[in-house]
Amino acid sequence: MAVQRPAGEFDFSYAYDMATIRRRWQWVLLLAFIAALYTLPLYASQGFISFVNRVAISVIAVQGLNLLTGYTGQISIGQAAFMTVGGYISALLMRELGWSFFLALPAAALGAGVIGLFFGLPSLRVKGFYLTMATLAAQFIIPWFTRQAFPDLLNGAQGITVPVPAIGDFALDSPTRYLPLTLTVVLITTIVSHNIARSRLGRAFVAIRDNDLAAELLGVHLFKYKLQAFFLSSVYAGLAGSLMAHNLRHINSETFTLVDSVFLLGMLVVGGLGTSLGPVLGALVVEYLTEAATVLGPVITAVIPYSAGNAVQAFKPLFFGVALMLFLIFEPRGLAHRWQLIKAAWRLRPFSH
């Protein structure tokens, strides 16, 4: 991580050197942005607020994936499966045991983490592509389990309705009321993942990603850290899955599919692997593309006469696939890297280097 700082800015103390937010105006901008998000219900439409909810939940899932894939380099196409686990656990805890949502949510995260640990076990023997296949197995076995096991409790393929979270008598039953919840969780997960990445744990992750043999020779316990990465990533997935399930108020084995896992990976790449900013930008752009497909679909169908009647559904995977391929070819380090370049260019202006 090349640290590029503006000229004339000096580190007066160690704490100041380590600070993520260094200037008073940065604090002001950040707090204004957060305040603007929390006060969205005052001036934004319902549609936009549910869009923000969706983006925020995707951000959480992608941040988890970022810890596993972006920092540790273990490619997972099973993230959506762990979201399923999280969704089911918190729904069942609230339905069957009458837990409060604010206890069920961390429990769901932990539960998903434990299941994630289990599917991370093959990392003891295999790595790279083979490990990806093990996570793919999770993507099939977990939804199958929810369809087949405990039909009384999980209601098979039909799935279950998920209770509405409530604070006292205040039910979070509309996108507007749900928004503060997702925003608060995403704020916490962002702070946590940013700080994991620059701690001892994060440095071990990066060492494993860059060269696992060298890392092992330097005394990084590969298996231990890989399992920790799997656990953390699944905890994030569990949080996201639980939030999504309580947002949709229904969950079944089709709520989070293989395609969702692929989309989450795509968000990570579009945003930028191994950066804190990446998941946020990636989730925002890909969710926006999906939204654009829904809006643009009918327009394009009207202009181009040939249509098989499914243009709207077709544009979602098509836009995503093409965007992902273009990013991989032209900007493989993602939007976060592009943002770094823009910032550097601004600081060096009017010189080009």
Partner 1 sequence: MNWQLLPQFAVTGILSGGPIALIALGLVLIFKSSYIFNFAQGQFLLLGALITWWFSVEQGLPLYTAIALALVLSALLGIVVERLALRPMTGQPLLSIILMTLGLSQALQGLALLLFGGSQRNFPQMFSAADPYKITTPFIFNDKPIIVILKQNLVWSFVIAILGVILIGAFFQYTRTGLAMRATSEDHELAQSTGLRIRRIFGISWAMAGLVATAGGVLLATSSGLDLSLWLVVLSAFPAVLLGGLDSIPGALVGSLIIGLAQGLTRVSTVPMVRNSAEIMPYLVLLLVLIVRPEGLFGQKRIERV
Rg (CA), the chain: 21
Check binding of 69 to partner 1 (CB under 8 A).
yes
Give the interface size with partner 1 as a residue count (CB under 8 A). Answer: 48
SS3 at position 170: strand
* Region 292-331 residues binding partner 1, contact defined as CB under 8 A: 307-311, 313-322, 324-325, 328-329
334 binds partner 1 per the rule CB under 8 A? no
- Residue 298 or 321: the one with the smaller Cβ distance to partner 1 is 321
Helix (H) or strand (E) holding 130: helix 129-148
DSSP string, 267-335: HHHHH-TT-SHHHHHHHHHHHHHHHHHHHHHHHHHHHS----S-HHHHHHHHHHHHHHHHHHHH-TTHH
* Per CB under 8 A, 269 contacts partner 1: yes
Closest distance to partner 1 from the beta carbon of 310 (Å): 5
DSSP character for 255?
S
- Which residues between 182 and 201 bind partner 1 (CB under 8 A)? none
Quick count: other Cβ atoms within 10 Å of Cβ 155? 14
Q: Is 129 or 351 the residue whose CB approaches partner 1 more closely?
A: 129
Among residues 187 and 312, whose Cβ is nearest to partner 1? 312
Contact with partner 1 (CB under 8 A) among 52, 57, 73, 226? 73
Give the binding range for partner 1 (CB under 8 A) out of 13-21, 175-183, 249-257, 266-274.
266-274
Site for partner 1 in 6-65 (CB under 8 A): none
- Coil, helix or strand at residue 251: strand
- Cβ-based neighbour number of residue 6 at 10 Å: 11
Cβ of residue 15: shortest distance to partner 1, in angstroms? 35
**Nearest CB to partner 1, comparing residues 159 and 266:** 266
Encoded one letter per residue, x for contact with partner 1 by CB under 8 A and - for no contact, window 101-140 reads --------------------xx--xx-xxx-xxx-xx--x
> Which residue from 336, 206, 276, 288 is spatially nearest to 63, judged by alpha carbons?
276
Residue among 320, 196, 217 at smallest CA distance from 263 = 320
Six-digit token string for 255: 């709520």
Neighbours of 140 (CB within 10 A): 12
Q: Name the minimum Å distance from CB 88 to partner 1.
A: 17
Summarize as ranges the residues that interact with partner 1 (CB under 8 A): 69, 73, 75, 77, 121-122, 125-126, 128-130, 132-134, 136-137, 140-141, 144, 148-149, 213, 259, 262, 265-266, 269, 273, 307-311, 313-322, 324-325, 328-329, 332
